[in-house]
Structures are given as C-alpha cells and as structure tokens.
Chains A and B, each alone.
Chain A
Amino acid sequence: MQITISSAAGLQVAKLEGRLDTATAPQAEASLLPALTAPGLVLDLTAVRYVSSAGLRLLLKLAKEAKGKGAKFSLAGLQPAVREVFEISGFDKIIPAFATVAEATAG
C-alpha cells in the first residue's frame, strides 16, 4: 500500500495505491489518522482495486474521527469492486463518495 498525501482546495488529499486489506489497513491507519485535520480529508481510491472489511473498518473509524474533529471526510474514485463492497455494507449512506477528487474537494 502506497499513500501519497497532498492538498487541493484547502483539503488534505491522500492517494492510496494497492489493496486496502487485513495486511495493509494498520499501516494505512497510521498514515491517515494524522492527516485527518480540519477542514478535511479526501481519500483518492482510484488506484485501489479492492477494500476488504478491514479497510471498511478503517473508513468507519476515519469518518467517526472526522465528525469528532468537525472535519469533512469523503472518498473519490471508487472502482466497481470497491463500490460493490461499499454499497453492500451500507457505507454509501454514511460516507460521501464522489467520482473524482475535483468533485470531492468542491463538494
């Protein structure tokens, strides 16, 4: 799992590459929790082929953390297999997901 953090439109943008799974979620959490500051963080998942429940648990933790800090938290670029998992788990109702990073930083 490669994570590159930059900023766009005043928000932090973290680009993830690889699998967000049991093996990589702890490392991703260590990188992403410190990047989650107001006004907000966008996760660019364009290069993530799939997310397992370990990845979903991390997304849930980040969303709750964001709410506690009054920061925005959203996702961008979900691939079909990732979107399927996201929707089946009901996460589409609790975490905003956008087609592109540009839409996420605008929204």
Chain B
Amino acid sequence: MAAPLHLTLPPETASVTALLDALEAFTDEAELPIKPASRLMLLAEELAANVVMHATGATFFTADVALEGATLRFTLTDDGPEYDPLGRAEPDTDAALEDREAGGLGVHLVRQLAASAEYRREDGRNILGITLDAAAE
C-alpha cells in the first residue's frame, strides 16, 4: 500500500510537471492499473493547471492523494480568489469542427472521469476533491 502523498507547490507551470512526476511515482508504488493511474494524473493536471493558469492571486497550492480501499481520493487546495471550476458550462461535444471551442474541456474531463467531484470554499481557500475508482479496467 502506497503512503498518502502531500505536496505544496508554487502556482507555476513547472509545478504541474512536478505534480505529475510525483503522481507517477505514487501510482507505480501503489501498483495501480493503467486506467485509474492515467485518469488520476490527467485529472490532477487539469485541476492544477486551472489554479496555475487562472487563480492569479494564489500564492501556493497543495495536492493530497490517498488510496482508501478501492477509492483514490485527490484533493487540491489553493489560496486564490473564490472559484468553482465545476460551475463552468459544459462544452458542446457534438459541435462541428468550425464551431468547437477550446474552453471548458478540462472540467468536462473531470466531470466525466471522476466518480465524484466536489468544490467547497473554506477559510479563504478553494478546496476541490475528487474520487476515482482505483480498480477501473
């Protein structure tokens, strides 16, 4: 069983790479199947990229990952302005090429691939928690 991971990083693009490298080590250690491992890395990146790209006032973000039985829990916390990415409108995934817009894709992936996703604002921080099925085939 892999020990829970806790990281505190500055809100810059290099931190997203550092987070992915740490998660890759975590998923190897936990011997997760490829599907939940790649979903975890993907959704962690989407959420961290949101903070790095949009939370202009954040001074840090933290990432916590734990494997609880068959559930992977990932929580991202930042001290930027209040922002709930889950409140974004869904992209139209049936639109023709000319009409497809680039926005909202990351959050769409979170909604589709996470077993659950929840946002809350607490003590001046954005806290976004997701769970994933660790045994997904």
Binding site for B on A (CB under 8 A): 19, 21-23, 49-50, 52-54, 56-57, 60-61, 63-64, 67, 80-81, 84-85, 88-90, 93-95
Contact = CB atoms under 8 A, between A and B. Distances in A.
A52 B106 contact: yes
A85 B38 CA distance: 10
A60 B49 contact: no
Contact of A56 (B13, B98, B105): B105
Nearest to B108: A89
A94 B41 contact: no
Contacts of A64: 97-98
B17 interface: yes
Contacts of A63: 97
A74 B59 CA distance: 40
Interface of B: 13-14, 16-17, 20, 34-35, 38-39, 41-42, 45-46, 48-49, 52-53, 91-98, 100, 102, 105-106, 108-109, 112-113
A52 to B, nearest CB: 5
A67 B102 contact: no
A88 B38 contact: no
A23 B17 contact: yes
Interface of A is mostly: helix
B97 A94 contact: yes
Contacts of B20: 19, 21
B35 A23 contact: no
Given A88-B112, A90-B91, 16 more contacts: A21-B16, A22-B48, A50-B38, A50-B41, A52-B109, A56-B105, A61-B102, A64-B97, A64-B98, A81-B35, A88-B109, A89-B91, A90-B95, A90-B100, A94-B97, A94-B100
A53 B13 contact: no
Given A50-B42, A81-B34, A94-B100, A57 B49 contact: no
Contacts of A89: 91, 93, 105, 108-109
10 contacts: A21-B17, A22-B13, A49-B38, A52-B42, A52-B45, A64-B97, A84-B113, A90-B92, A90-B100, A94-B95
